[in-house]
């Protein structure tokens, strides 16, 4: 049975850092904002917001954050008996399920209740299971279809009714089915996809926030700013200033 050991929240504050580690436990790193690079044994792995990186035990790791880029992440140490062999070192957290689980894990670990270690172990088991599922690349067809629809309509606001009509599904059934597959509603998923693209544009371009808001289908830059801070835990201005330092 998977056993939770500890977790640590990390914030680079836009400062370049290079560190060397070697853990006796398995480790998952859930990246919330910023860019990350690690040398795991002989392989170089890069990641950014929305990625999760796996580190096997007893392997020398050399990792770094980048100056001018705010790296925020959650590091989870745990014991994983019977871990599948040949897991990839990085997967994309499609739908944000691992990020949600990491948030629950942080909250429970901070409780300090007698039952917290057992509950944390259950959360980590779910986290590991989701990592395996993403590594297999077997995202359900419904989720893939919604992703494709969002990509085509990224700059256009649309309602649940339009998405349901495109899928030829009743709205209530779509919500129930999609939530069962991902843990979130279809429109929450759509909003997350828009915000991920907004984050990329904020980090990689100098486009004004008004232009970015229009490109990702949110329209109102003030609303985008509020949603951005709520989703990523860092403001647009803070992220862009850190990139320019």
User: For the segment 30-83, what is each residue's pLDDT rounded down to a tens digit?
Assistant: 998 888 899 998 889 988 888 899 999 999 999 988 877 788 899 999 999 989
Give the model's confidence band at 8: pLDDT under 50 very low, under 70 low, under 90 confident, else very high. Answer: very high
User: Which stretches does DSSP call E strand in 49-192?
Assistant: 51-55, 61-65, 72-79, 90-92
CATH number at residue 216: 1.10.10.60
Q: Does 147 share its domain with 49?
A: no
Q: How many domains does the chain have?
A: 2
Is the overall model pTM greater than 0.85, yes or no? no
Q: Please, are residues 51 and 31 in contact by the beta-carbon 8 Å criterion?
A: yes
Task: Determine the average pLDDT of the residues in 180-203.
Answer: 85
Q: Does 101 share its domain with 24?
A: yes
Q: Does 145 share its domain with 233?
A: yes
pLDDT, mean over the chain = 87
What's the CA gap between 74 and 188, in Å, rounded? 22
Q: Does 169 share its domain with 102?
A: no
Q: Please, are residues 202 and 142 in contact by the beta-carbon 8 Å criterion?
A: no
The segment with the largest mean pLDDT, out of 76-80, 133-137, 204-208, is 76-80
CATH number at residue 39: 2.60.120.280
Q: Does 112 share its domain with 150?
A: no
Question: Which pLDDT belongs to residue 12?
Answer: 87
Residue range(s) defining the domain that contains residue 127 = 3-136
Interhelix angle 160-167/186-204, rounded to 10 degrees, is 110
Select from 136, 158, 175 the last residue of a domain. 136
Task: Determine the average pLDDT of the residues in 213-242.
Answer: 82
Q: Does 116 share its domain with 55?
A: yes
Instruction: Give the tens place of pLDDT for each residue, 84-105.
Output: 888 899 988 877 889 889 989 9
User: CB count, 10 Å around CB of 9?
Assistant: 12
């Amino acid at each position: 049975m998977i056993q939770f050991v500890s977790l640590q929240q990390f914030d680079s504050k836009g400062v370049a850092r290079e560190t060397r580690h070697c853990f006796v436990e398995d480790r998952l790193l859930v990246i919330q904002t910023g860019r990350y690079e690690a040398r795991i044994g002989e392989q170089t792995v890069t990641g950014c917001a929305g990625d999760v990186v796996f580190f096997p035990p007893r392997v020398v790791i050399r990792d770094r954050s980048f100056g001018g880029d705010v790296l925020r992440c959650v590091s989870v140490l745990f014991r994983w008996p019977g871990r599948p062999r040949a897991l990839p070192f990085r997967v994309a957290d499609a739908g944000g399920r691992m990020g949600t689980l990491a948030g629950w894990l942080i909250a429970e670990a901070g409780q300090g209740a007698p039952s917290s270690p057992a509950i944390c172990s259950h959360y980590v088991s779910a986290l590991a299971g989701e990592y395996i599922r993403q590594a297999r690349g077997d995202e359900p067809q419904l989720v893939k279809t919604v992703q494709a629809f969002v990509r085509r309509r990224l700059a256009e606001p649309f309602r649940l009714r339009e998405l349901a009509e495109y899928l030829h599904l009743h709205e209530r059934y779509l919500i129930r089915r999609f939530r069962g597959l991902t843990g979130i509603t279809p429109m929450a998923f759509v909003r997350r996809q828009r915000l991920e693209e907004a984050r990329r544009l904020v980090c990689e371009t100098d486009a004004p926030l008004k232009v970015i808001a229009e490109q990702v289908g949110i329209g109102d830059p003030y609303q985008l700013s509020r949603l951005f801070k709520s989703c990523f835990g860092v403001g647009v201005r803070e992220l862009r200033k850190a990139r320019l330092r």
